[in-house]
Amino acid sequence: MSQVKVLGELAVLDDVGPPRRGRAYPAAGATSALLLPAVLLLGALVLWPVLRTLHASVTTDGRWVGAEHFRAALAAPGTGAVVGRTVLWAVLVPAVVTALGYLFAVASRRSEEGGLVRLILLVPVALPLVVTGVTFRLMYDPDPTRGLATLLATRLTGRSADDAPQLLGPGLVTVALMSAFVWAWVGLAVLVFRAALDRLPPSLADAVRAYGGGRRHVLWDAQWRPLLLRTVAVVFALVALGTSRTFDLILVMTPGSVRDDAAVLALRVWQTSGGTTTGQGAALGVVWLVAVVAGMLVAAFFVRQAWPPPRVEATPGPAPTTPPRRLFRLLAAGGAVVWLIPLVVLVATSAHGQVDAAARGWWSAPPGTGSYAALLGGDELWRALGFTLLLATVVTATVLVVALLAAYPLAWLTGPAAQATGLLLMAATVVPVQVIAGPVNEVLGVVLSSGTSRGLALVHVALGVPFAVLVLRNAFADLPAEQVRGARLGGRRWWGTLHRLARHNLPAVIAVSVLEFVQVWNDLAVGLVFSGPEATPIGPFLAAEGRGFVSNSGVLAASSVLASVLPVLLMVLARRQLVAGLVSGGVR
Amino acid sequence: MTPAGRVTRRTLLRAAAAGATATAAGCAGGGRSVQVAVVWSGSELDRFREVVATYPDPVRVVSAGNDIDAFLRARHLAGTSPDVAILSRPGLVTEYAARGWLRPVRPSTEYAVPIGLSDLLLTGGQRYGVWVKAAHKSLVWHLPSMLPEQPTSWDELVSLTRRLGALARRGDGPAPLAIGAADGWVLTDWFENVLADLAPSAYDALAGPDADWQGRPVRDTLDRLAELWSVDGAFPGGGRRALLTQYEESVIQVVRSRRAVMVFEADFTAEVVGRFRSGPEEPVTFRFPSAGTGAGALIVGGDVAVVFADARGGVELVEWLTRADSFRPWLRAGGYLSPNTTIALTDYADPVRRQLAREMRGPDTLHFDLSDQLPGAFTGSDGVGIWRIMQDFFSDVTDGVSAGAAVRRATGQLAAAARDAGGGR
């Protein structure tokens, strides 16, 4: 494909681009029909629940009470700490992820081992956060005969097991959780930075050097200002939004007694709401919602302003950039080794029977297949895996159809209408499901029945559509006009055009499909709130297995490994399309 | 939207759904099965399926797990409640009954439960649930070789803990007690056993609307717990470590790694023991020691079957579940303790359960698990309600806070939580 792509940002955060010129329009009557499924889904399962939550936060049994619920919720003991912790997550973790991501991206460029390093860093991105939680809880087990990190801490500090720093204790639990989150997200930052660095025109650096600039000037004028500032903003914002989903980690990693010491708004809302949306729970939810949407807006505007108009030159081929220095490459290799350790711990623990894994560390007992045998012999895991596969496939297919239909007419929108639609879609993308759980259940109760697999699938579809529409719309809108004309001429009808456009935008379609599939597969929160008893998806299944953590760690590790195979495989195989699909579009 | 309008529409939808189901069933040519939502999972679920397999009509069992309350609420909103549900909290039974979700049930003539259990399921003179499974929650487990002589009173337990704790501190032996304090319910079970022994009459009042959580009985109970829990060296790794130890790990510390001598918990501990025991030695149990002479209090947990208001066929199934031989498959398989006193003791396959069933029929006043009767969020969950408060208290007393200060803080929290949940004074 020859269309112009300037990389360095994810399309999702860059939807407020300048007006697009009209190119070809779908039949006017068709437009509303095409948008209808997406509008219905988002209206019923996102917009209405949000309004309903807003309403519940200022009323008691339908009676207006003003800010009373907000005052009560914020004055409740512990709320201040919870809000503070949420902010800490949203500031500190993205900073660390961004810095590490940039370092690894630079260090792993254009060297032979760089590809391997990036591959290792990518694996945690694809893991369900529940599995990440299981892995790090295994590492941080307070017993040095089982927890690798505790063993090292006792050896290094020379203290006894009782005095050793305990990462899962009330003092350090947030640090432990953050380390797991950073581990899981750095790979994504590396991918984005790598794409940005690769698209930097090398001629720019040459020009700076020609004018007598040193290394610092090259970094500043040829890297930072034209492209990296924006990329940093995108990565930071993306991770900051991601930290609102720390829910999974906290549920899996924290023992009951320290849950309050680790709680963030996501967890508090879930704990206080009890599946319905009333009063204080709704008020906390609104606070959270406002924070997330405000973060999204700031990110969007910041990204826009930081963006100088792209100077699109010839497609930068394999540029003769020198590989990074040795020190950097060693750093990359060291990072990869560190990133491998948790994976080794998970797999090694899974290779022990239930009793061995509970009683001693994986390094002190010979491996066996006991846990896998116990798992594969029963049918519970199979049922969960099978159901999740079916669910993820159906949801992905539905999301794709709905989003393709909606993206087509939206791609011709221009001006303020396009910007408003983009912002609305982005807002719908970041709405946390815990906040709107109660009203969504009510809607499901009216249209289907809540607590059923169909209801669960419907919620997943509604939550997946806005992101898919954003990406596909941007991809469509960025096609060169002649290609669209070609599609119009060849297709004659709008669905023919749509078909051709989809084919020309294959990376975007693949990216959306893989991400949606992996998201549904890896989900915990939606499954926890909306799944019925007749079938449990793999995320809630693992979380439930983790209730008796130590006694079950062998089997839990084995089921975690089995649950991770498919998403890891998909992400690794589709990684090129993911980057291409996500960053194409939305620049001009 | 008016409430009436909502009801009408829901009724319509429900009628449509029922019509569709009936058509589907008609096409399939079979009768409609009774749907039962249960709290059990894993092997308990399998056993229960074996039980209902002998019911004359088809029964469909679905596991809603610990979150059965949220599940049933959602199903009620949607108008698709199951016919029968098995709940682990009698508090939910009275709550649902008061909202009109349930229909009264009648047990069979072969059904009798110990005094104190039956009343919990009555609302407005009507019976809305029957007990189908019990848990004996007043047991201390140990290996005979690790503890030759069992303490027979609370004071003996304390002095034994002090003695063994001193040895453990010097590194000369295992800690006296294992405790899974990461699970709040373990601590509430401790609290309930001591409270029922100290002040049996106050115990039942605490579940009611006039509960006094700052009164003398609660303070004395906490004092007594502080006396034991604050013993230096009482727990393997100390109090901080105990707060990160889950219940099952605490059992492993006794029966496998032998880092502790005793562990207190219910009869379902036998299942964990069975999985992790090493060597041929069987652990034995003794009753939670009383401060006075004689056997201590007996705390019982249990599961209740209820029938939803628009159920079809649920009442007959529940009646059948209360017959003496309905649970025979589970009795034979072991791991089941029946609340039904008309079941012959000889029906129990395992001697431990037979002994526990005998104890439950004894003259003791029996008390139902208090935290399971508390209203709303006060009932406890991870990081919430009485679970969290007991963990704070445990953390205080094992961390050197004086008993007086710790008790004041805990009773204050308990009273506040009771007020928030709409009970207590």
> How does pLDDT run across A141-195, given as a tens digit for each residue?
998 889 999 999 888 888 877 777 888 888 899 999 999 999 999 998 998 888 8
Higher per-residue pLDDT: B148 or A11: B148
Residue A3: pLDDT above 70?
Answer: no
Q: What is the pLDDT of residue A30?
A: 75
Helices A538-545 + A380-410 axis angle, to 10: 140
Single-letter residue type at A504: H
**Quick one: tokens of B151?**
């303490």
Q: Which of residues 436-495 of A touch B (CB under 8 A)?
A: 441-442, 444-446, 448-452
Shortest distance, CA A256 to any CA of chain B (angstroms): 5
d(CA A349, CA A361): 8
d(CA A195, CA B324): 71
Residue B139: pLDDT above 90?
Answer: yes
Q: Output phi, psi for B306, to 5 deg.
A: -130, 160
Question: What is the SS3 assignment for A170-197?
Answer: CCCHHHHHHHHHHHHHHHHHHHHHHHHH
Mean pLDDT across chain A? 82
Single-letter residue type at B62: V
Residue A522: pLDDT above 90?
Answer: yes
Q: How far is residue B333 from each of residues B7, B337, B350, measured CA to CA in Å? A: 46, 11, 9
d(CA A184, CA A568): 12
d(CA A428, CA A403): 14
Which residue of A lies nearest to B421 if distances are taken between CA atoms? Answer: A272
Q: What is the pLDDT of residue B387?
A: 93
Please give the share of chain B, as a percent, with pLDDT higher than 90: 57
Q: Which helix (H) or strand (E) holds B353?
A: helix B351-360
Whether B382 sits inside 8 A of A451 (CB atoms) is no
Q: What is the pLDDT of residues A176-186, one digit of tens each?
A: 999 999 999 99
Residue A49: pLDDT above 90?
Answer: yes
Q: What is the pLDDT of residue A4?
A: 31
d(CA A288, CA B45): 38
Mean pLDDT across chain B? 86
Residue A11: pLDDT above 70?
Answer: no
Strand partners, B262: B142, B177
Residues of chain B positioned with their CB less than 8 A from the CB of A263: 383
**Quick one: tokens of A138?**
């295994």
A92 has a chain B CB within 8 A of its CB: no
DSSP conformational letter for B283: P
Most confident of the ranges A271-285, A571-585, B194-208: B194-208
Residues of chain A positioned with their CB less than 8 A from the CB of B246: 255, 548-551
Q: Are B241 and B263 in contact (CB under 8 A)?
A: no
Reported as a pLDDT band with limits 50, 70 and 90, residue B264 is very high
Q: What angle do CA B106, B68, B388 make, to 5 degrees?
A: 115
Q: What is the pLDDT of residue A437?
A: 86
Closest CA to A473 of A419, A416, A538: A419
Residue B266: pLDDT above 50?
Answer: yes
Which residues, other chains included, contact B131 with Cβ-Cβ below 8 Å and sequence gap of 6+?
B113, B117, B118, B121, B302, B303, B304, B339, B340
Please give the share of chain A, as a percent, with pLDDT higher than 70: 86
Question: What is the gyration radius of the CA atoms in chain B, in angstroms?
Answer: 23
Q: How large is the average pLDDT for residues A546-569?
A: 92
Q: What is the pLDDT of residue A10?
A: 35
Single-letter residue type at A515: L
d(CA A346, CA A362): 10
Q: Are A554 and A354 in contact (CB under 8 A)?
A: yes
Q: Are B373 and B90 in contact (CB under 8 A)?
A: yes
Residue B323: pLDDT above 80?
Answer: yes
Q: What is the pLDDT of residue A25?
A: 55
Q: What is the pLDDT of residues A73-108, one digit of tens each?
A: 888 888 899 999 999 999 999 999 999 999 998 888
Which residues, other chains included, contact A70 with Cβ-Cβ below 8 Å and sequence gap of 6+?
A57, A283, A286, A287
Q: Are strands B34-38 and A59-60 parallel, antiparallel or unpaired?
A: unpaired
Q: What is the pLDDT of residues A209-242, one digit of tens each?
A: 888 888 888 878 877 777 778 788 888 888 888 8
Q: How far is residue A365 from each of residues A361, B181, B352, B362, measured CA to CA in Å? A: 7, 28, 33, 47
Q: What is the pLDDT of residue B4?
A: 37
Q: What is the pLDDT of residue B79?
A: 73
Whether A257 sits inside 8 A of B276 (CB atoms) is no
Q: What is the pLDDT of residue B19?
A: 37
Residue A259: pLDDT above 60?
Answer: yes
Closest CA to A560 of A173, A121, A136, A266: A136
Reported as a pLDDT band with limits 50, 70 and 90, residue A533 is low
Q: Which helix (H) or strand (E) holds A574?
A: none
Whether A551 sits inside 8 A of B249 (CB atoms) is yes
Residue B14: pLDDT above 70?
Answer: no
Q: How large is the average pLDDT for residues B330-345?
A: 90
Q: Are strands B298-308 and B102-103 parallel, antiparallel or unpaired?
A: antiparallel
**Quick one: tokens of B116?**
């104190």
Q: What is the pLDDT of residue A481?
A: 66
Q: What is the pLDDT of residue A529?
A: 82
Residues of chain B positioned with their CB less than 8 A from the CB of A259: 382-383
Residue B46: pLDDT above 90?
Answer: no
**Quick one: tokens of B51?**
């039980």
Q: What is the pLDDT of residues B235-253, one digit of tens each?
A: 999 999 999 999 999 999 9
Q: What is the pLDDT of residue A392?
A: 97
d(CA A432, CA A438): 12
Instruction: List the single range of A115-129, A477-491, B181-195 with lowest mean pLDDT.
Output: A477-491
ipTM here:
0.86
Reported as a pLDDT band with limits 50, 70 and 90, residue B108 is very high
Shortest distance, CA A386 to any CA of chain B (angstroms): 18
Which conformational region is residue A62 in: left (phi greater than 0), alpha (psi within -120 to 50 degrees), or beta?
left
Q: What is the pLDDT of residue A545?
A: 82
Residue B184: pLDDT above 90?
Answer: yes
Q: What is the pLDDT of residue A107?
A: 87
Q: Are strands B84-87 and B34-38 parallel, antiparallel or unpaired?
A: parallel
Question: What is the gyration radius of the CA atoms in chain A, in angstroms?
Answer: 24
Sequence-ordered alpha helix ranges (H) in A274-369: 279-305, 326-350, 354-359
A549 has a chain B CB within 8 A of its CB: yes
Q: Which of residues 2-61 of A touch B (CB under 8 A)?
A: none
Residues of chain A positioned with their CB less than 8 A from the CB of B186: none
Strand, coil or helix: A9: coil
Q: Which of residues 329-368 of B touch A (CB under 8 A)?
A: none
Q: How large is the average pLDDT for residues A262-287?
A: 82
Q: What is the pLDDT of residues A315-337, one digit of tens each?
A: 444 444 566 678 888 888 899 99
Which residues, other chains included, contact A470 with Cβ-Cβ below 8 Å and sequence gap of 6+?
A11, A12, A15, A422, A425, A426, A429
Q: What is the pLDDT of residues B158-169, one digit of tens each?
A: 999 999 999 999
Instruction: Name which of A55, A141, A143, A257 to mutate to probe chain B: the one with the most chain B Cβ atoms within 10 A of its Cβ.
Output: A257
d(CA B129, CA A323): 74
**Quick one: tokens of A421?**
């639609």
Most confident of the ranges A216-220, A378-382, A557-561: A557-561
Environment class of residue B168 by beta-carbon count within 10 Å: exposed (0-12), middle (13-18) or buried (19+)? buried
B36 has a chain A CB within 8 A of its CB: no
Q: What is the pLDDT of residue A20?
A: 41
Q: What is the pLDDT of residues A387-422, one digit of tens each?
A: 999 999 999 999 999 999 999 888 877 778 888 888
Q: How large is the average pLDDT for residues B206-213?
A: 88
Q: Which helix (H) or strand (E) holds B177?
A: strand B175-178
Residues of chain B positioned with their CB less than 8 A from the CB of A358: 249, 252, 256, 276
* Unique residue bearing structure tokens 């429900």: B14
Reported as a pLDDT band with limits 50, 70 and 90, residue B174 is very high
Distance of CA A559 to the CA centre of its chain: 22
Q: What is the pLDDT of residue A270?
A: 82
Q: What is the pLDDT of residue B8?
A: 38
Reported as a pLDDT band with limits 50, 70 and 90, residue A528 is confident
